[in-house]
Structure 1
Amino acid sequence: MDRRKFMNGAAMLGAGSVISGFSPSDLTSTPKPKKIKHNPIGVSTYSFWQFNGPKENVPMELCIEKAAAMGFDGIELLLVQMNSEDNGYLQKLKKQAFHAGLDLMGFSTHQGYLSPEKRYREQNISKTLHQIELAYKLGIPTMRLNTGRWGTSKSFDDLMANKGMEPTLEGYTDEDGFKWVIDAIEQCIPTAERCGVVLGLENHWGLGRTAEGVKRIVDAINSPWLQVTLDTGNFLENREAQMELLAPQTYLVQAKTYYGGGKWYTLDIDYPKIGEMMRRHNYKGYISLEFEGNESPDTAVPKGLELLRDAFWYEL
């Protein structure tokens, strides 16, 4: 009899709970954590070399080995650091990276179209077409592109001391330069499309020193095969505002770090804030670490990986 009274009372308590809008499950319900995914993080082979000594001292094979051991998702190859352009060498690198669990996710190249000499521009167009073919053979989906520089600085050190600014060639203007660069890159688009390689115009001195300059060229060509390679260390003023302007067209982010002090300058880059900005623009692509400091890459590069892992993620 006592048991029956207890069960009836419990039933009435449950009914009262429903009537009052309260459910026992409310006692244990807590907000579930949002599901996130981290952006894949790669590292440029430049990070292990930085043009310090002969490139043979830091071969691509060693860079791939170190990147895999450090826990990166991919590796960006610096073309001038490669020992060969023979297909056998390219396929050897591709095979090694695949077996190490790394994507070959970026191809950093050099070229320039900022010259009044038509022959010079044509040579650099041919050079770019060849580089696109190399990226295709390597299976790399995006390739860094430069506008080139006026070349009026005495040296790269002088250019850096002047914050990347240099005067135009006598008798010419930036307007002339934009026409040359746009015309040259337009001629590279069909090959990029045929090979499936997205060209990423980088904010990298010359007419690409400012976000406005990069965007002007990309918008003028207006092709899905020309986007932006966004370098966090090449805006020396109004960094976040300039990055915001290019974020919607960014196809690859190159993230600079300066452990041990920078080679030319040291920037205090707020990566959590940049990560938040890229999430607003729904960026889910690769972040490529470019270490440009004086500390040993063996200790500095892993610290950069940890920094970028924490900063770049997005909600699923």
Structure 2
Amino acid sequence: MQLLTSENNLENNSRRNWLKTSALAGAAMLAGKSAEAEPVRKAPARRIPLAVSTYSYWHFGKEKFPIEKVIEDAARMGFDGVEILHRQMENETIPYMNKLKRLAFDNGLSLPLLSIHQSFVQPKEEDRKKDIEHTIKCINLATQMGIPAIRMNTGSWRTVKRDANYYKDGKEPPIEGYTDKDAIKWCIDSMGECLVAAEKAGIVLAIENHWGLSSNIDYLLEIYKPLASSPAMGMNVDTGNFVGDPYPQFERLAPYATIVQAKTYYGGGHYYDLNLDYKRIAEILRKANFKGYISLEMEGKEDAATAVPKSLKLFREVFS
């Protein structure tokens, strides 16, 4: 009897082990099929929004190109926004600004940037104060139009002629009796005053590599970094405003970029010509995890009616 019992136990154990093994194998097969049936899905790539600067239609010629027409053109072509050049505005009245804001809204466009001109590279404190006041006035204009950011410059000594040679090397000696270090301090102090007003208004001041002192990228970062803790401090990186090889410099600035101005030169540039590799630029921005606006500045001599659509096509191909 004991022998039979032992044999029965062995048989029962063997049956239980077989059933357990079969169940595990079946579960594994089902899991494999389930994994095959539901592949891991990648999140869709986010499209970088594209804006066009009103400057693309008007290069400081005699007659201003109407901003209203730029907004309508941009909507027809499928841009996401329009950057407004302050000097191109017809006036600064509230009805005019409200008209621009409403026109953009009705056309499904944002107004991401107001590009202004000012300089803090001025030895006289009263001259710097005037440009601080001008900036604060422009902060109020941007607020009225619902524009979240303003393009800022460092300024320049204006000791050399702005000719082809200047745009090649960007060299500009200081005014006698002063140094670049003086100018860097003036920029930091003046920007700091402007940031107080910008923080209250919720406006970003995006400093740009816009020739002058900012032709030197080390100088630009020396100004930017002490101010970067302010929630209103930003950087506008312009693809066409680099001296020498643009790509290593662009790579240095890309991690700080709030917005990017991207230049094209169809028909030959008004001031200089560049053949920019936008596939390479797009890759640098992807590595920097840039998600903001790219604003087209078409600076060529070709008519904007044909050059702006060409630029948009290029940007859609490389930045999508």
Bin the TM-score by the shorter chain: 0.7 to 0.9
Letter of the 2:44 counterpart: K
Compare the two structures and name the one with the higher helix fraction.
2
Q: Distance in 2 between matches of 1:204 and 1:232?
A: 10
- For 1:127-138, what aligned pairs fall within 5 Å after superposition? 127-138=134-145
Distance 1:302 1:31, change over 3 A: farther
- Alpha carbons of structure 1 residues 31 and 110: separation in structure 2 relative to 1, 3 Å: same
CA contact under 8 A between 1:160 and 1:264: conserved in structure 2? Answer: no
Q: Which amino acid aligns with 1:43?
A: V
- The reply to whether residue 117 of structure 1 matches residue 124 of structure 2 is yes
For structure 1, which runs of at least 5 residues remain unmatched after alignment? 1-14
The answer to whether structure 1 residue 186 and structure 2 residue 195 are counterparts is no
Cα distance in 1 between the residues matched to 2:269 and 2:88: 20
CA distance in 2, matches of 1:20, 1:187: 66
Counterpart of 2:137, as a letter, is H
Equivalent residue number for residue 170 of structure 1 = 176
RMSD: 2.3
Separation of aligned partners in 1, 2:227 and 2:237: 18
Matched ranges for 1:71-90 at <5 A: 71-90=78-97
- Of 209, 212, 216, the residue aligned with 2:215 is 209
CA distance in 2, matches of 1:22, 1:251: 45
2:6 match: none
Which structure has more relative contact order (CA 8 Å, sep 6+)? It is 1
TM-score, scaled to structure 1 = 0.87
CA-CA distance at 1:287 after TM superposition:
0.4
Q: Matched residues, percent identical? A: 45
Superposed displacement of residue 109, structure 1: 0.3
Measured at CA, do residues 131 and 159 of structure 1 come closer, stay the same or move farther in structure 2, by a change above 3 Å?
farther
Stretches of structure 2 that go unaligned for 5 or more consecutive residues are 1-24
Distance in 2 between residues matched to 1:280 and 1:158, nearest whole Å: 33
The one-letter code sitting in structure 2 at the alignment partner of 1:53 is K
Query: How far off its partner does 1:22 sit?
Result: 7.3
Is the CA contact 1:159–1:166 (under 8 Å) kept in the aligned structure 2? no
Q: CA deviation at 1:53?
A: 2.6
**Larger-Rg structure:** 2
TM-score, normalised to structure 2, is 0.86
Deviations 1:216-274 (A, max 9, x none): 11112232211110000001313111111111211000000111111122112111221
Q: How many matched pairs?
A: 296
Q: Residues 15-44 of structure 1, C-alpha deviation per residue, up to 9 Å, x if partnerless?
A: 99x769975995x99886761121000000
Matched-pair contact (CA < 8 Å) for 2:215–2:241: yes
